[in-house]
Structure 1
Amino acid sequence: MTTVDSPRPGRHLPLAGTHNVRDVGGYRTRDGGTIRWQTLLRADGLSRLDAEGQARLAGIGLRTVIDLREQEERDGAPEPFTGEVPVLRWFPVFDGNMPADGGLELARVYERMVDECGARLTAAVRALAEPDALPALVHCTAGKDRTGVVIALALSVAGVAHEDIAADYALTSVHLGGAFLEEVRRKYAGLGLPQGFDELVIACPPELILATLDRVTTAHGSVENFLLAHGATTEELAALRTALVEPVEAKGKRT
């Protein structure tokens, strides 16, 4: 049975200029711990984040922003941050070869990510494990696909059940659509977009991220082995778990 929290005040951060900024805290781990709140955030594009939104992120101590977009996406929508903090890290998942998927096969895009882009996905996870990297925010353009995979890998390393990771992934559908979808339609108006494009933009069925994690574990035995095979170290993964997870004994001391 899933242990995922329901959407609650505090999980979604309604920041002006964004649609899908979420805290992934509160999920339980297999050893009884809990992912710390205000430690790992996931988001869509941040280019229109205003001063108030930046101040709110600064208020939770945001130290690192990890951008998974390609160069052309960054050129059209640059990061809004100008100071030394947060530190901006850039890991373009497709490294200049972003799919121009005429067939709109989202499952194939995810397969390609884990089959061909493992080193860049791993680099993003490793960045989260660096000393003083957290609190951190991981984002792409929609905060759905590339962000969804990196967050899934990080939460899996931390010990969150795959079913709970999938439920968190599916929450994106609550926040995309509406204004976000209208923005996408306006941006691509007149390009003769294929049938089904709207659904692709906001699609995030939980079985898709479950299939992705299954693909990783089938090929490598575990998510940890996948990351180790692409450059991570056991020390980095242990450090990430320690930084993300509030252990059960710590929770007991507060009660």
Structure 2
Amino acid sequence: MHATTTAAALSGIHNIRDLGGHPLPGGGVTRSGVFLRGDALRGLDTAGLRALLDGGLVRILDLRSDMEVAEGPNPLAGHEVIGYRHLPIYNGLATIDAMTKTHPDGFDMGLRYRAALGDCREAFAAALSHLAEAEEGATLFHCTAGKDRTGLVAALLLLNAGVEREDVVADYAATATHGAGLIDTLREKARARGSDPAHAERVLGSRPETMRATLDWLEQAHGGATAYMRTIGLPDETVSRLRTRLGG
């Protein structure tokens, strides 16, 4: 599977993409069939599962909260071929509602991303370590929509591999196209709950400027993604392995 893989190509699945195919500064592209980013696979059907297996999927890393997993278990948890690991990445992070009250005039998802990278360091370190230790074959990491928690992990992996900043931003923003069906469903649910439409759009959107602001913060606060990985405790060997696995 390639970076341009869409839900249409994987029946029953929204917003799943291979991190392969991104240009590298020294020539070549990131390796396909190593890391996949996606949503919770709630709509997975037989054809979609066959496509994932044929594409070499061997492991899943579920980044959702305990409550999200209880309400909608990953359909491949317990699969006889595909290994499954649940590792909540936002545990202890303030809720969106709490952050909105703290920033009533200026909340956006970039604020949440920066808070997550700062407050959930141990969880990010555990997730990245797990990805580095994965056996040969493809590992899918996912949250609910495949946009926020998944987008942050994907950005760290791509930047560490040497992918240019604007390509990382474009990968994040692609959820607006690849995950449109799922985002529309979440938008309808927010509307049914009586959420403010403008607030819902800020939460559900994947605007390029949101990721740009996050990458600015990573650079200013830590010196970039690779330095951030070391700051949160990843040894050089793990950082190097992540780079080699994806960057070739």
Distance (whole Å) between structure 1 residues aligned to residue 136 and residue 166 of structure 2: 27
- Give the direction of change, closer, same or farther, for the CA distance of 1:134–1:214 in structure 2 (3 Å limit): farther
Does the C-alpha gap of structure 1 residues 12 and 123 become closer, same or farther in structure 2, counting only changes over 3 Å? same
Contact persistence 1:11–1:24 (CA under 8 A):
no
Please, what is the CA RMSD of the aligned residues?
Answer: 2.2
Question: Which residue, 221, 230, 246 being the options, matches 1:244?
Answer: 246
1:12 matched to which residue of 2?
Answer: 6
Please tell me the residue identity of whatever aligns with 2:69: R
Once the two structures are TM-superposed, the CA of residue 97 in structure 1 deviates from its matched residue by 4.1
Which amino acid is 1:72 matched to?
Answer: M
2:197 matched to 1:206? no
Matched position secondary structure for 1:196 = helix
Number of residues paired by the alignment? 238
2:145 touches 2:183 (CA, 8 Å); kept in 1?
no
> For residues 121 and 224 of structure 2, what CA distance do their matches in structure 1 show?
14
Name 1:129's counterpart in structure 2: 132
Whichever residue aligns with residue 12 of structure 1, its letter is T
**Cα separation, partners in 2 of 1:66 and 1:204, compared to 1, 3 Å:** same
Q: 1:205 to 1:122 in 2, by over 3 A?
A: same
Give the drift of 1:9: 8.8
Aligned residue in 2 for 1:252: none
Moved more, 65-74 or 28-37: 28-37
TM-score normalised by the chain length of structure 2 = 0.86
| Whole-angstrom CA distance in 2 between matches of 1:169 and 1:119 | 23
The Cα offsets for residues 190-238 of structure 1, whole Å up to 9 and x where unpaired, read as 4221231441343111221122122122112231121112121111111
Conservation of the 8 A alpha-carbon contact between 1:158 and 1:241: yes
Q: Which among 66, 69, 77 is matched to residue 74 of structure 1?
A: 69
Partners of 1:94 and 1:9 in 2: how far apart?
26
Q: 1:182 to 1:240 in 2, by over 3 A?
A: closer
TM-score by length of 1: 0.84
Look up the equivalent residue of 1:11 and give its one-letter code. T
Query: Residues 173 and 202 of structure 1 are in contact (CA less than 8 Å); yes or no, is this contact kept in structure 2?
Result: no
How many percent identity over aligned positions? 36
Q: 1:54 aligns with which of 49, 72, 80?
A: 49
Deviating above 6 A after TM superposition, structure 1's stretches of 4 or more consecutive aligned residues are none
Residues 161 and 246 in structure 2, CA contact (< 8 A), matched pair in contact too: yes
Return closer, same or farther for 1:207/1:105 CA change in 2, 3 Å cut-off. closer
Q: C-alpha distance in 1, partners of 2:5/2:161?
A: 18
Q: Does 1:92 align with 2:92?
A: no
Structure 2 distance, partners of 1:189, 1:176, is 18
SS at structure 1 position matched to 2:64: coil
Structure 2 distance, partners of 1:216, 1:79, is 31
Decide whether aligned partners of structure 1 residues 204 and 9 sit closer, same or farther in structure 2, where only a CA change above 3 A counts.
closer
Give the match for residue 230 of structure 2: 228
Instruction: Measure the CA separation in 2 of the matches of 1:200 and 1:134.
Output: 36
Structure 1 unpaired stretches of 5+:
1-7, 247-255
**For residue 180 of structure 1, what is the amino acid of its counterpart?**
L
How many angstroms does 1:13 deviate by?
Answer: 4.3
Sort the Cα spacing of 1:116 and 1:152 in 2 relative to 1 into closer, same or farther, 3 A.
same
- Deviations 1:167-211, CA, capped at 9 Å, x for gaps: 11111111233x324422453454221231441343111221122
The structure in which a higher percent of residues are helix is 2
Does the aligned pair in 2 maintain the 1:176–1:202 contact within 8 Å? no
**In the alignment, which residue of structure 2 is the partner of 1:149?**
152
Give the AA of the match of 2:5. Answer: R
- Structure 1 contact 22–43 (Cα < 8 Å) conserved: yes
